[in-house]
Structure 1
Amino acid sequence: MKIGILCNSVLPLPAIQMLASNGLIVCIGLPADENPETAEVVATLAAMQLSVTRLHKNGLEDSLLRWVNRNKPDVVFVMTFPWKIPSKTLLQPKLGFFNFHYALLPKYRGASPVFWQLRNGESYGGLTVHKMDQGFDTGPIAHIHKIAIKAGETYGMHNKRLAWETVQGVGAFTQTLMLLGNAVPLTPQSSDEAQYFNRPTAKDLAIDWSAMSAKQIQCLVNACNPWNKGAFTRCGDIVFKIVQVSVKEQKIVYNQQLIPGTVINCSEKKTIDIITVDNNVLSIEVISVDEGIFTADFLVSIGLRNDMVLVNL
């Protein structure tokens, strides 16, 4: 079987390496835009001695049709590609296009599913392979490979595990496709379970002290680390990001008059303790500001004191 690959992220590189080592890849397409991650992908593929075709959003349909007709793949695997594949192109390879969505469908459709799974405190992530149709992440499902989300796991940690632990899932699906071809079983997605999540906005990346529990804040912080350098918050005129937190195990009943976000201790072991809306204590351990990344007690050096209140942006 001859496989074409469309990608723009380091996430599928272990799977691509596995497919290439088995002599299955005939062509690879990447967006032509330049950024550090794309440069890393190009360099890694070059080290594997795989040639790459750079594609532009303008004229994508014609470019993809030429790419498919020139290389004649039996199937195209789409692994983190930013643009919608034109419907005419989907019909060209004899086995079609399959999207490798690095989250569980249909519950987490959209371009940033790992962030939303972590932010929402899900127990599992994984890889969903579905045959592509004219919608976004809506095609029938061919394969699911679930991966547990570990306690305290950050976005970066989960993505790293996702890249390596889904190689098995990619291999299993590829073997099934080679064996069954167009007879590979496909299961329509349940519309009752389907949710689409947009890319996170600044509001989605900010802590709402008036509504979010200690656990929810911890999930948001982890979902923002490292790509956003933490979750946004503010104290007075100081805007900063919280990079790492822990929730205190002991349940202490604090004065109910304390406003959620109140600093109750900023003097112990380089952490800062904050009361949350569910009357738990959140220990801020690492923060990020324009000057750099520091232990939380850096905030004390620039004026943070007990009884001050962290507020929403």
Structure 2
Amino acid sequence: MKIIVFANHLAVLPALDHFQKSGWLQAVVSTDKLQGPNFQIRDYCDRTNIPFYQVSKKQLNEDLAHKIDLQQADLAIMFGFSYRIPEKIFSTPKLGFYNVHFSLLPAYKGPDPIFWQIKNGETTGGISIHKVNAAFDEGEVLMQQQISFIPGENWGICNSRYAAVAQNMLIQFTQNLYNGNELPEVQTQQTSTYYKMPERQDLTIDWEHMSAGEIENLINAANPCYGGAITYLNHQPVSILEVTPANLSSNGEYKSGIIVYSQPDSGIFVGCKQDEYLRINIVQTADGVLSGFKLAALGLQTGQSFETMVVSIPETTLT
């Protein structure tokens, strides 16, 4: 069996290795948006002498079919690919063109389902393998596995766990196709939802309206893929990468976002809505990645405040 993999995300690497060792991997296609750690896909292909193609959206639609012999491919698998596949490509492989999606479809369609599921505080997610058609994440679901979220896990930990499960699912899925087994459509129970790629406002902590739990979820969802959740301190952007819920006895009400305790030996604690508190464990500033202990040692004081946006400074009139 000959398989072509369309992938932009390093979570595909275990599956690539399985297909390569099985003698099935014919080629790998990535987009011009490939960046950072995801270049490990290209490096893997270089090491194993697997043809690797990096294409723009225009190339995908116009001349990719001339670069790879789709007519000879039995199967195509898509895993974290950021462009819509044209019909002349997804309709060609003999055994079909399928996508791996990190949610229980039809819930959480879209480019980053892990982010939105963690941000929204879901306790259960999963992986779906579905047929590719002209729409995003709309084809018939042929395999699904439910997976519980680990309380407090961030995007990176969750993504690694899902990648391991996805590899096992793909092994079973492709073996069934290879053996000629019929794969009936899964009768899904989820409500259909779609979430776009997170934008800056989706990554920004709203201290006034978000609870401590919602803030923690956002921070976990944004670590590490978006560099943490965004806030402002002393008019400068700060990314918070990790927090821990905290219990503090308080003698008064605090504005949400205010630092209620700061000591080098115990760290920084910030007040949230409804008399809840978070301990700030790790942040990233223009000076680097710092612990809450170090921030306190550097002089961050009780009474200072994290803000949702830059506070405007009144203009000074010169006389």
Q: Is the 8 A contact 1:139 1:189 kept in 2?
A: no
Instruction: Establish whether residue 196 from structure 1 lines up as the match of residue 216 from structure 2.
Output: no
Distance 1:51 1:132, change over 3 A: same
Q: Corresponding residue for 1:185?
A: 184
Distance 1:254 1:143, change over 3 A: farther
Q: Which moved more, 1:4-13 or 1:301-310?
A: 301-310
Give the alignment of 1:266-305 within 5 angstroms: 266-267=262-263, 269-300=265-296, 304-305=300-301
Give the alignment of 1:54-69 within 5 angstroms: 54-67=54-67, 69=69
Give the alignment of 1:71-220 within 5 angstroms: 72-180=72-180, 183-187=182-186, 193-220=191-218
Q: Is the 8 A contact 1:213 1:276 kept in 2?
A: yes
Measure the CA separation in 1 of the matches of 2:102 and 2:305.
Answer: 38
Measure the CA separation in 1 of the matches of 2:195 and 2:70.
Answer: 36
Q: Corresponding residue for 1:21?
A: 21
Amino acid at match of 2:59: G
Q: Is the 8 A contact 2:100 2:166 kept in 1?
A: no
Distance 1:121 1:298, change over 3 A: same
Query: Which ranges of structure 1 fall in alignment gaps of 5 or more residues?
Result: none
Distance 1:102 1:227, change over 3 A: same
Amino acid at match of 1:200: P
Instruction: Establish whether residue 49 from structure 1 lines up as the match of residue 49 from structure 2.
Output: yes
Deviations 1:252-295 (A, max 9, x none): 4653x421112211116342111111321111111110110111
Q: Corresponding residue for 1:264?
A: 260
Q: Is the 8 A contact 1:206 1:312 kept in 2?
A: yes
**4+ residue runs over 6 A deviation:** none
Normalising by structure 1, we get a TM-score of: 0.90
Q: Is the 8 A contact 2:103 2:128 kept in 1?
A: yes
Q: Give secondary structure in 2 for the equivalent of 1:266.
A: strand
Q: Is the 8 A contact 1:140 1:188 kept in 2?
A: no
Q: Corresponding residue for 2:316?
A: none
Q: Is the 8 A contact 1:121 1:219 kept in 2?
A: yes
Aligned length: 309
Q: Is the 8 A contact 1:100 1:127 kept in 2?
A: yes
Q: Is the 8 A contact 1:79 1:100 kept in 2?
A: yes
Deviations 1:216-270 (A, max 9, x none): 111111111122222111234232111111002x474653x42111221111634
Distance 1:254 1:166, change over 3 A: farther
Amino acid at match of 2:283: I
Q: Which moved more, 1:284-293 or 1:139-148?
A: 139-148
Distance 1:254 1:169, change over 3 A: farther
Q: Cα RMSD over matched residues?
A: 2.2
**CA apart distance, 1:47:** 2.0
Q: Corresponding residue for 1:226?
A: 224
Distance 1:204 1:171, change over 3 A: same
Amino acid at match of 1:53: Y
Q: Which moved more, 1:197-206 or 1:70-79?
A: 70-79
Deviations 1:26-72 (A, max 9, x none): 22222245633343211112223322133231132333333554561
Q: Is the 8 A contact 1:68 1:93 kept in 2?
A: no
Distance 1:135 1:175, change over 3 A: same
Deviations 1:93-139 (A, max 9, x none): 12221011123211111111111111112223332100011111111
Query: Which ranges of structure 2 fall in alignment gaps of 5 or more residues?
Result: 310-319
Q: Is the 8 A contact 1:266 1:273 kept in 2?
A: yes
Measure the CA separation in 1 of the matches of 2:45 and 2:204.
Answer: 36
Q: Give secondary structure in 2 for the equivalent of 1:17.
A: helix
Q: Which moved more, 1:262-271 or 1:131-140?
A: 262-271
